[in-house]
Structure 1
Amino acid sequence: MDFQQLNLNWGMISLVLFSLVSLLQLLYYWGIFSRLAFFKPKEKEQSQTHPVSVIICARDEAGNLARNLPGVLFQQYPSSHELIVVNHNSQDDTRYLLEEFKKTFKGLQIVNLEHEAKGIPGKKYPLSIGIKEADHEILLLTDADCVPASEHWLYKMQNAYEPGIDVVLGYGAYNKKPGLLNKLIRFETYHTALQYLSYALAGVPYMGVGRNLSYKRELFINNKGFSSINHLPGGDDDLFINKVAHKGNTTVVLDPEAFTLSEAKKSFGDWFRQKQRHYSTGKFYKGKIKFLLGTYSLSLFLYYPLFIAALLFADWRIVLGIFGLRFISQGIIQYKTMQKLGEKDLFGWWWLLDIWMFLYYCIFAPAIWKKARPNWT
């Protein structure tokens, strides 16, 4: 086989593979992610105000609670509601801070837990206790390091409930700050939301984020809470939703006033450890979800290496034509979804951040197989 024939074979192979991966990407963008990009919520004929129990679990979170708890306590909501803060064995001033808040806000319920639950790592135990203590059927969950984006967060989230709905998925964003790391964290958070919110709209809900999540107490009790995942370090949000959510009982809220905001990690090391914990639960998703998410991630991981190979060995005009089709399609979807999720300032960087995702998967893919450390958060 001479060099010209070998080059032709490599050109055909690289072009075919690049075309297949590009087609797969287009199917995901137009078949799934477009549902979020072009989503328009139904106009409700009548608003509603259900009784709601807001639950926050905290461990050594005095600083975050001092900053963020007022944003939850000052919600404008006319119906019955309570805020339950579960103080799980804190060694800082959390207990005393909460007692001071209680003097002013009578709707604040404090649950102090002094001991660990043997064999139940993470915050599933304190969250289960908080749910047990809740007076109301609708539960709204957030974290101590989160603050509602507006005083209408509680109203907007509970207003999504209608007959048959048991799960409401919200968006937990990060505050915009200068610097590369902040952009990388926010883009990864947005990219995750692009997937789980789009899949929910496509009728295949598979996760939520504990920073902004609501479900019914009855759903939790009927599914025996976290009993099936108590042994795992994480999963109180994504694995539980993966288990109980389905097409008929799940909806999403995309109103910017219903978002929550958190401070992003300040160092790559802290972010790396956080993401390792989060991705360690992915292997426990349902088989269908693992296939869909894995196929998309693999196609994104292979896209740029195959693009370079096809440019080198195949007809560059065909390759650039395929690249352009995917680039334009992706740009449209990215712009619309970033606009919906309040991340429009990232749009000017999206093509670079898209390339970054290749490195991101190289860095974090091993976390899927590693055993996560039993951290509380």
Structure 2
Amino acid sequence: MEIGVFFYILASFAIINCVYYLFFSNVGFGKITPPQGNLKQAVSVIVCSKNEQENLKVLVPLLLEQNHPNFEVILINDASHDDTRDVIEEFMSQDARIKMVNVVNNESFWGNKKYALTLGIKKAVNDHLIFIDADCVPNSKEWLAIMAQHLSQEKSIVLGYGGYQKVKSSLLNALIRYETVLTAIQYFSYAMRGNPFMGVGRNLAYTATQFYESSGFMSHMKILGGDDDLFVNQSATYSNTAVSLQEESFTTSQPKTSWSGWWKQKKRHINTAAHYKWKHKILLSLFYFSQIGFFVSAILGFIFGLNWMVILGVVLVRYVIFWIVVGKGMSRFRESDIIILLPFLELLLVSIQLALFISNMGHRPKQWN
């Protein structure tokens, strides 16, 4: 193969990468759209909890302190074997806004979070539903009001951002936060450009009307995971989806603290993504494989004698665009401390994703928690 061929291959992958990153730039550089809905509209906050007794003790008081005039909190005890039910009942005795759904495992939907969430949605008395995980906390007392106000007559789905707590001097934590922001940059960008494909259950809103019109989770009830991203993938459109980029509307979750725990979590996510619409799978796959192609062709160019200055020039242009766009996104989501590590974290994440993809072909997890 001639040396010139490596240059064209490398340049092609770099161009594809740069086009994607420029496409993603509206998250960091775009204008934040204020919510347009009615603050007085009653809402239901839904929390699905499985063995979350300690996390609920932290979360529920923060929910009750939210600056919203009319809301209820639906706490779902999903067949927990700790004291989650007792904790919920104690909160119910203290505040009438707290409601409980006690889920007993159903033989047809054993260990399926979607079954539990469906029961919680049916329990809600309000059409506007806001979802947060039990191990999350809102970033401010305005979280509920902002997320709820993004729901309107035109917008029946709202995508929020759910970040992770910072752990100093932890490579795993830096990688988790980088992957979380990169994913958010992608799904926010696609939604803002009229092609929403996913959301995260750590911070998500939609109407009960939208849920029932989409037949709930029935099309993917048997698939582990996807109560958030698969529902959005099947239901979200350009006209019915809003995004919430206000910092006050973010949530923060507890990150995995072991590589094995994070690995299992990512395996579930990859399995879920395989059920996205074809157009989204193609676009997401092209982005990922263009990253692999860029790294591989740059290495081969060095090995086979392509002028190192040529390679360096292409790599620098690509990385300048990458650093600016992703770095701006990191700043938007308050993760500026890891911007300096971006090239290393990108290469590490791409390598791990390849290993996850190979590993997932042989084994798939069976329970959500």
Aligned to 1:6: none
How much has 1:120 moved relative to structure 2?
5.6
1:22 is aligned to 2:14 = yes
Q: TM-score, normalised by structure 1?
A: 0.93
One-letter amino acid of the counterpart of residue 250, structure 2: F
Contact 2:109/2:115 (<8 A) preserved: no
3-state SS of the aligned residue for 2:218?
Answer: coil
Percent of matched pairs sharing the same residue: 35
- Of 350, 353, 372, 2:364 maps to 372
CA offset digits 1:226-264 (Å, max 9, x no partner): 111111111111111100001111111011111111111
Shift in Å, 1:49 = 3.3
**Which residue in 1 is equivalent to 2:314?**
322
Shift, 1:52, TM fit: 0.7
Task: Give 2:165's aligned residue.
Answer: 175
Structure of greater Rg: 1
Structure 1 residue 42: Cα displacement: 3.3
Give the superposition deviation at 1:197.
1.1
- The answer to whether the 8 A contact 1:121-1:234 is kept is no
Match of 2:283 among 273, 288, 292: 292
Alignment-mate amino acid for residue 50 of structure 1:
Q
Structure-1 separation of matches of 2:293 and 2:241? 33
1:127 to 90, 93, 117: 117
Asked if 1:143 is matched to 2:150, the reply is no
Q: SS in structure 2 opposite 1:115? A: coil
- In structure 2, the residue matched to 1:3 is none
Secondary structure of the residue that 1:280 maps to in structure 2? helix
Is the 1:301–1:357 Cα contact (8 Å) retained in structure 2? Answer: no
Instruction: State the one-letter code of the partner of 2:139.
Output: A
CA distance in 1, matches of 2:349, 2:2: 26
The residue number in structure 2 matching 1:65 is 56
- Tell me if 1:76 matches 2:67: yes
Task: Say if 1:120 and 1:233, in contact at 8 Å, map to a contact too.
Answer: no
Q: 1 CA distance for matches of 2:110 and 2:36?
A: 44
Residue identity matched to 2:144: L
Corresponding residue to 2:180 among 186, 189, 194: 189
Q: Which residue does the alignment assign to 1:5?
A: none
Secondary structure of 2:147 counterpart: helix
Look up the equivalent residue of 2:339 and give its one-letter code. F
| Alignment-mate amino acid for residue 333 of structure 1 | V
Q: 1:283 to 1:46 in 2, by over 3 A?
A: closer
- The 2-side partners of 1:327 and 1:109 are apart by 50
Counterparts of 1:21 and 1:121, CA distance in 2: 42
Verify the 8 A CA contact 1:120 1:232 in the aligned structure 2: no
Aligned to 2:240: 249
- Indicate whether 1:309 and 2:300 are aligned: yes
CA pair 302-357 structure 1, distance change in 2 beyond 3 A? farther
Partners of 2:125 and 2:183 in 1: how far apart? Answer: 32
AA in 2 matched with 1:243: Q
Alpha-carbon distance change, 184 to 44 in structure 1, aligned in 2, over 3 angstroms: closer
**Counterpart Cα distance in 2 of 1:142 and 1:27:** 33
Partner of 1:4: none
Please report how far the alpha carbon of residue 366 of structure 1 lies from its aligned counterpart in structure 2 after TM superposition. 2.4
Q: Aligned runs of 1:1-377 on 2, under 5 Å?
A: 9-30=1-22, 32-43=23-34, 48-78=39-69, 80-119=70-109, 121-178=111-168, 179-312=170-303, 313-366=305-358, 369-370=361-362, 372-377=364-369
Q: Distance in 2 between matches of 1:243 and 1:44?
A: 24
Count residues in correspondence.
367
Q: CA deviation at 1:10?
A: 3.7
Cα 1:48–1:69 shift into 2, 3 Å:
closer
Question: What's the C-alpha RMSD, in Å, of the aligned pairs?
Answer: 1.6
Range with greater deviation from structure 2 (38-47 or 109-118):
38-47
Residues 56 and 85, structure 1, Cα contact 8 Å, conserved in 2: yes
SS at match of 2:220: coil
Distance of 1:34 and 1:45 partners within structure 2: 24
Which residue identity lines up with residue 64 of structure 2 in the other structure? L
* Structure 2 alignment gaps of length 5 or more: none
- AA aligned to 1:191 is L
TM-score (norm 2): 0.95
Q: Deviations over 1:68-95 (max 9, x none)?
A: 22221211112x2100001111111111
Q: Is the 8 A contact 1:49 1:155 kept in 2?
A: no
Q: Give the distance between the partners of 1:368 and 1:296, measured in 2 at CA.
A: 20
- Note the C-alpha offset of 1:161: 2.2
